[in-house]
Amino acid sequence: GAVVSQHPSWVICKSGTSVKIECRSLDFQATTMFWYRQFPKQSLMLMATSNEGSKATYEQGVEKDKFLINHASLTLSTLTVTSAHPEDSSFYICSATGLAGGPGTGELFFGEGSRLTVL
């Protein structure tokens, strides 16, 4: 199956600093990428939908100025957690799909996830 890679897989940072997480589709062009956060033993909560070359669409309650998403190419999307605080500590996962548009168009390929710990 298709491969999506996330980097870094884990990061520890001090409160107030910013952290960038990369999500790359290695063997296909990802027209749409999704960013989720997952707390221990909980579900994946969609944060935003990212389409190449356009602004990300954020879910209700997600601060767009705090979680900056850039999807500059068909193979790379980045999530930057700005001025991180301990409550931002979580498992962040990206997923990608190579098919544009319509519902039910295809499976999601998930990255390995990035575990962020803010001290």
Partner 1 sequence: QQPVQSPQAVILREGEDAVINCSSSKALYSVHWYRQKHGEAPVFLMILLKGGEQKGHDKISASFNEKKQQSSLYLTASQLSYSGTYFCGTEGGTSGSRLTFGEGTQLTVNP
By CB under 8 A, name the binding residues for partner 1: 1, 32, 34, 41-46, 49, 93, 97, 99-113
Angle at 95 between CA 94 and CA 98, to 5 degrees: 145
Minimum CB distance to partner 1 smaller for 81 or for 94: 94
Distances in whole angstroms, Cα of residue 72 to Cα of each of 31, 32, 33, 61, 89: 11, 11, 11, 24, 26
Minimum CB distance to partner 1 smaller for 8 or for 16: 8
